[in-house]
Structure 1
Amino acid sequence: MATQTPPGDLRLVDLTKRFGAVTAVDDLTLTVPQGSFFALLGASGSGKTTTLRMVAGLEEPTAGRVLLGEQDISRLRPYRRPVNTVFQSYALFPHLDVAENVAFGLRRRGIRQVRPQVERMLALVQLDGFERRRPAELSGGQQQRVALARALINQPQVLLLDEPLGALDLRLRRQMQSELKRIQTEVGTTFVHVTHDQEEAMTMADTVAVMDAGRIEQIGTPADLYEFPATVFVANFLGQSNLLAAEAAGPTGSEVAVTAHGARFTVPVARARVDRGPVHLGVRPEKLRLAASADQVPAGHQHVAGVVGDVAYVGVSTQYLVRTGAGADLSVFSANNGTEGRYPVGASVVAYWRPEHAFLLPRATGPADRRSPSRDEPVTVAP
């Protein structure tokens, strides 16, 4: 028996957008479950905003479909779609007070009794008592909440958020991250959030899709993407990664043996995207620990020797740059919890990790490997 698509799932099917010879979105297919907080994460030019604009009806697809449940909305005009958008600029009407800004959509539909709905929305975004203020009398965070209330009062099936926190300072941005997640949980509306900010996506979203060059590199929960990236691009874009260029000899039991810089390492089979041939052996900086010598490395750990090339104290951690004998650099984040030793620049150290904290990724060889880490990125290890 065929499974039925839930009535509110947003589905993009073979979606493509070209601007002349430039392909901004390339044959994109994904499903955003109804009621989820979904993030499209990518750098400028990755296609994330163009994707959002096609869902909103502000751009017409070159090919493919946009569906809500079984309804194809690809060719509907924006105002006919059960979708609303919150932009980075907020786009509030400066001559209207807060209440009238929020009520705008209802009034356009001919609804006269708007006060109960407006009061409910303002309470949801914690702006009770701000009804008669003008946008110019509000802070950036308050304006963002007004824009959110104005979009939600129309009860859209999908709310699109186009870099909505980009204009806020760091403190307000972090506060609004929590507020947006709270509001989404309360109303249960599907949120699709476009951002280039990795912390923002990981803090708020249930599911994150990492985009590059108009395609999806990987989709999953924030923890899945961070702990076990599928590609070099994801490993380097979502946080930082140390990547050792290595050769994998294939699985032996539950482990894959790899060789890098003449040393042998192992990685669990479950942590290997590929188990034979050219690979990247990856370890996140916070998974590494430092010791003064190899005889201080705990049993069951793997290690690489080097010299401290730089030290940066950032409060919660001390960040070390360890230069290895192969001429490559390792980034190590050591928690400032009072139990870790301190190492000055020039100190000989050993960076060590547990095998289950490593991962293996495919490694293309030659200049055609556009996803290979740059040699001048300090967080990356390469021969």
Structure 2
Amino acid sequence: MTTLRLRGDLWMGTAPLIRDLALDLPASRWSGLLGPSGVGKSTLARLVAGLPGPYRLEGAICPEDGKPLQGRVAMMAQEGQLLPWADCVQNVTIGARLRGVRPDVTRARALLAQVGLKGLERRRPAALSGGQRQRVALARVLMEDCPIVVLDEPFSALDTLTRLAMQDLAASLLQGRTVILITHDPLEAIRLSDQAYLLGPDGAEVLNLPASPVPRDYTAPETLAAQAQMLARLHRVESETCAG
């Protein structure tokens, strides 16, 4: 596993998004990234995942081990982005097919069973609930078996109870990986993150988190206190952004 260090200025075309960015994302830990809409959270996610776009980091994304990131990052995006014409197994194995490699259907079925979808392997996304679709997307990430995982608002479309269940499942199945969690939800960041940053135009601010292990109990007093503190901080940032 490897620690990631991000340094530099984040740009969208000719417009600066974040100046003097400095993020240390430790190996085998969850790092939460929060901030106002449009600040560049998802842009950072796409950069780490190696996806093309009209954005750039004038600086560097440096894995501590010095090895290239290519082939070592898997991404789970909002609402899963499943192929509507493909069944669960085909969606889980899409990476292998795109690489021209024979898909391991047996392993795909085992992963679907692991995320609670045994017996639903041949269903297409339209025949699944929102939570089930996210479980397929999580199985697809596990299928890639990458040491670095980027989660870009992965559970935002789910109802509260399903979201909590998916958070617990992801925390369990992604243990030992370096996870970058992009989220607008303070409670989600607090429950899952070993460390968290608030992103803004002038860089990244470290946020306070409870000392308890993840996934944190959402009913615990220290979790609720941290949520109130983080909500207040985010509200101030949003107000400052709108005023500016």
What is the TM-score with the length of structure 2 in the denominator?
A: 0.80
Residue equivalent to 1:191: 179
Choose from 78, 89, 93 the match for 1:88. 78
What stretches of structure 1 move > 6 A for 4+ residues in a row? 234-237
- Which aligned pairs between 1:168-187 and structure 2 lie closer than 5 A? 168-185=158-175
Residue equivalent to 1:71: 66
Residue equivalent to 1:128: 118
Equivalent residue letter for 2:33: L
User: SS in structure 2 opposite 1:93?
Assistant: coil
**Cα distance, 1:56–1:25 mapped onto 2, change above 3 Å:** farther
**Residues 65 and 72, structure 1, Cα contact 8 Å, conserved in 2:** no
- Which aligned pairs between 1:1-383 and structure 2 lie closer than 5 A? 8-12=2-6, 14-19=7-12, 22-58=15-51, 59=53, 60-71=55-66, 73=68, 80-112=70-102, 114-185=104-175, 188-213=176-201, 215-219=203-207, 222-223=209-210, 238-240=230-232
CA-CA distance at 1:108 after TM superposition: 2.8
CA-CA distance at 1:18 after TM superposition: 2.1
Q: What's the CA shift string for 1:57-106, capped at 9, x where partnerless?
A: 23452411112233364xx7xxx441121111311111111011111112
Q: Which has the higher contact order (CA 8 A, sep 6+)?
A: 2
User: SS in structure 2 opposite 1:71?
Assistant: coil
**Residues 17 and 24, structure 1, Cα contact 8 Å, conserved in 2:** yes
Q: Distance in 1 between matches of 2:46 and 2:103?
A: 32
Equivalent residue letter for 2:105: R
CA-CA distance at 1:20 after TM superposition: 5.1
Equivalent residue letter for 1:190: T
Aligned alpha-carbon RMSD (Å): 2.9
Q: What's the CA shift string for 1:12-53, capped at 9, x where partnerless?
A: 1x2312235532122212221111111111221333222212
**Cα distance, 1:81–1:219 mapped onto 2, change above 3 Å:** farther
The answer to which structure has the higher helix fraction is 2
The answer to which structure has the higher strand fraction is 1
User: SS in structure 1 opposite 2:118?
Assistant: coil
Q: Which has the larger radius of gyration?
A: 1
**92-101 or 118-127: bigger deviation:** 118-127
**Cα distance, 1:236–1:44 mapped onto 2, change above 3 Å:** farther
Equivalent residue letter for 2:59: G
**18-27 or 136-145: bigger deviation:** 18-27
CA-CA distance at 1:114 after TM superposition: 0.8
Equivalent residue letter for 1:238: M
Structure 1 gap segments, 5+ residues each: 1-6, 228-233, 242-369, 375-383
**Residues 12 and 56, structure 2, Cα contact 8 Å, conserved in 1:** no
Q: Distance in 1 between matches of 2:73 and 2:232?
A: 35
**33-42 or 117-126: bigger deviation:** 117-126
CA-CA distance at 1:183 after TM superposition: 1.7
User: SS in structure 2 opposite 1:106?
Assistant: helix
**Cα distance, 1:134–1:20 mapped onto 2, change above 3 Å:** closer
CA-CA distance at 1:113 after TM superposition: 5.4
**Residues 8 and 68, structure 1, Cα contact 8 Å, conserved in 2:** yes
CA-CA distance at 1:235 after TM superposition: 9.8
Structure 2 gap segments, 5+ residues each: 212-220
Equivalent residue letter for 1:27: D
**Residues 79 and 133, structure 2, Cα contact 8 Å, conserved in 1:** no
Q: What's the CA shift string for 1:161-198, capped at 9, x where partnerless?
A: 1111111122222222222212222xx22211101110
